[in-house]
Amino acid sequence: MEPQPTAAHAIETVFRLESPRIVAGVARVVRDVGIAEELAQDALVAAMEQWPRDGVPGNPGAWLMATARHRAVDLVRRRETYARKLAEIGRDLETTAPFEEPADPEDIDDDLLRLVFTTCHPVLSPQARTALTLRLLGGLTTAEIARAFLVPEPTVAQRVVRAKRTLATRNVAFEVPYGPDREARLGSVLDVIYLIFNEGYAATEGDDLLRPGLCEDALRLARVLSALMPKEPEVHGLTALLEFQASRAAARTGPDGAPVLLKDQNRRRWNRMLVARGVQALARADATGTGAPGPYGLQAAIAACHAHAYTYEETDWRTIATLYGLLAARSPSPVVELNRAVAVSMADGPAEGLRLVDALAAEPALRDYHLLPSVRGDLLSRLGRTAEARAEFARAASLTRNARERALLLGRAAGDG
C-alpha cells in the first residue's frame, strides 16, 4: 500500500528537521555516530511503515527519537560485539528516562552540541568534516552533498564512511571539549560551517554562481550553534557574518543568473530582515567578547559596513580598510591582504591599491587564484590602463572554474564593463 501524501510529507519534513537531534541522542547511548545514523534510518523506515497505516503521531519527533533509542538498546543487548560498550553504558541506560517520554530539551541540545564537535573533529580531513557535518547535521543525502560540491556520489559516500570509521577506530569521545581543546575544536567547527556557506555563496565551479541550499544549511547550523553556545563571541561573529552575506544573495545575480558586481547591485533587493539579524548577532558578539574581536567578528564588522551603506558611494571604505588591517594582524593570509588592497584602493585611490596587489604577486597561495588578476584588472581599468586591464581579466577567466564568473571576466576582457 502506497503511503498517503500527508504521511509521506510529514515523514520527509520531520526527519529532515529532527534527524540531527535523533542521531545526537542515540549517539549518546551507543557512543558511535555511524551506528547512531543507522539506527536513525531504521526509525525512519519504521515511520514509513506505520504512519501511513496508523496516522502521524502527535509528537512525530519524539516518536522517531523513542523508536531509534529502543533499537539502540536492543542492538546493544543483542550483539556480543557491543558487550564492552554495554558494560560502559549500563548505568546510563538504567537511569535514562522512559523512551516514550519526550527527552529534556536541554539534554537534546547538549547531545546536538556533542555531535557538532564530533563531526568536526581534527582527526578528519576538512573534506570529511564537511561531508559528515552536512550528512548528520544538515540532513542532506549523499547524492545532495555530491551535487552541492560537484563530486561523484561514491566519493562522498566513501568520505562519510571513512569519517565514521575514523571516529570509531580513533576512539573519538562523543563530548564537548573544554579549555584549550575546546577553543581549538571550536575553530574547526566554525571553519567547516563557513566553508559550507562560501561554497554556496560563490561556487568554486559549475554553471551557477550561487548554491542557495548550501547557504541556507550553513546559516541554519550557525544559528543552532549560537543558541547552543551563547557565551562564545566568535560563534555570534560567524552568525552575524553569514546573516549579512546572505542578505545580499538575491542581488548577486541578474535574471539570467549572471553575476552582478557589488557596485552594480540593487540594494533594495538586499534582505533587510537578515541585515537586522546580522546587527543583533554582531551586538551579541561584542557583548560577550572580553578582548579584541576574533576573525569572524572582524569580518562581520566589515560586512556590517557594507550593509549600512545605502549606495556603493556611501560605503565607509576607510573603516573597512582599517578593519582589514586588524584582520590581517589577527589572522594573516594573502587573501585577507588582497581584500585589504581593494578597500585601500577605494579609500586612497587605485594606485595605492595596485601597489599592495603587486606586492602579493609572488605569493604561492595566490598563483592560481583568479581573483588576484581580476582585482588587478579592475585597478588597472580605474587607472586608465585599459589594454593591461583586459589582459588581466582574460587571465582571471582562464583560472576560474565557474562558468558564470568566466563569462563575466571574458566580457570585461572584451571591454564590456
Domain residue extents for the chain = 1-88, 121-169+181-202+210-244
User: How would CATH label the architecture of 1-88?
Assistant: Orthogonal Bundle (1.10)
Across 71-77, average pLDDT? 81
Tens digits of per-residue pLDDT, 206-234?
Answer: 788 888 888 988 898 899 889 888 999 99
Q: What is the DSSP letter of 206?
A: E
Q: CA 132 to CA 188: how far, in whole Å?
A: 13
What pLDDT score was predicted for residue 187? 86
Q: CA 146 to CA 158: how far, in whole Å?
A: 11
Helix (H) or strand (E) holding 1: none
Higher pLDDT, 20 or 312: 312
Q: What is the DSSP letter of 415?
A: T
Higher pLDDT, 395 or 142: 395
What pLDDT score was predicted for residue 137? 80
Other beta carbons within 10 angstroms of residue 179's beta carbon come to 7
Tens digits of per-residue pLDDT, 170-203?
Answer: 988 888 887 778 777 888 889 889 988 988 888 8
132 contacts: CB under 8 Å, gap ≥ 6? 33, 119, 124, 159, 160, 163, 164
Across 229-248, average pLDDT? 96
Report residue 101's pLDDT band, with 50, 70 and 90 as the boundaries.
Answer: very low
Across 367-377, average pLDDT? 94
What pLDDT score was predicted for residue 79? 63
Q: CA 33 to CA 177: how far, in whole Å?
A: 17
Give the C-alpha distances (Å, rounded to integers) separating 218 from 134, 156, 343.
Answer: 9, 18, 27
Specify the range with the lowest mean pLDDT, choosing from 211-215, 257-261, 372-376.
211-215
Give the C-alpha distances (Å, rounded to integers) separating 403 from 155, 162, 369, 372, 389.
Answer: 23, 32, 15, 18, 20
What pLDDT score was predicted for residue 393? 97
pLDDT at 413 > cutoff 90 = yes
Q: Is 203 left (phi over 0), alpha (psi -120 to 50) or beta?
A: beta
Q: CA 121 to CA 132: how far, in whole Å?
A: 10
Higher pLDDT, 235 or 217: 235
What pLDDT score was predicted for residue 95? 60
pLDDT at 341 > cutoff 70 = yes
Specify the range with the lowest mean pLDDT, choosing from 3-7, 51-55, 292-296.
3-7
Q: What is the mean pLDDT of the chain?
A: 87
